[in-house]
Amino acid sequence: MRSDGRAVSTAVHYIMTLMVVSLLTSGLFVVTGDVVNSQRDQALRGGMEVVGNRVAADIAATDRLAATAGDNGDVVMKTRLPDDIAGETYQIRIEDTGSMGSYEIKVTNGGGGVSVTVPVRTQIPVETGIVHGGDIVIRYDTDTLVVEHA
């Protein structure tokens, strides 16, 4: 009788241990998984903001240089950008806001869930369009700034 009770106790103890460990482990996964995902989203957004600002800064810099270069001048600026941000591809869209010399750099991830917009103002018109992530080139091409894939 006494030895039966001891055997039951071992089995119950084992199952209990298994349950508690499983519970703790799955809890850990759920919580950290969420943390990782939210951190990843933040990193993605942060990365896209930086890329957008970088493109805007280089467009503005090319604009300033082109303004001093004159009609026969030539300016080509290469901007080194990551191929992906937080493991996601992205694209850069240049849009005309409609008001003179004012443009928006819209960076969108491949999934399309996150989008960041950075405004830029130039003296020389910028050609609107889309380029995919990775190194880009900003070129002063007869009175227009053109952004294209490097």
Partner 1 sequence: MADVTRERAQLLITSSFALAVLLIGIALVLNTAIYTENLATRDSDRGKDVLRLRDDVEAPISALIQHVNYNDTYDSYGHVNSEFAKELATVSDTVGKYGALDGNAVHVSAARTKGLRLEQTQKRTYTNASSGANWTLVDGGDDIEQIRHFQMEISRSGVASTCEPFMDCFYVTVANDSESWRMSAEKLSGNVFIKVEDSEGEHECGKYDEDVTVKITGEGIQQEPIEQATYEEEACKEAFRAVAGMDGPYEVTYANGDEIEGTYELSVATNSPLSTEDNFDDQPRLSWIVYDADVRVTYRTTDLYYESTFRVVPDEE
Residues that bind partner 1 (CB under 8 A): 14, 18, 21-22, 25, 28-29, 32-33, 35-36, 39-40, 43-44, 46-47, 50-51, 53-54, 57-58, 61-62, 64-65, 68-70, 72-82, 85-87
| Nearest of 144, 102, 120 to residue 57 by alpha carbon | 120
| Nearest of 113, 64, 118, 61 to residue 95 by alpha carbon | 118
Would you say 81 or 114 has its CB closer to partner 1? 81
Would you say 96 or 134 has its CB closer to partner 1? 134
Would you say 96 or 141 has its CB closer to partner 1? 141
State the Cα–Cα distance between residues 150 and 136, nearest whole angstrom: 5
Structure tokens at 88: 């996601």
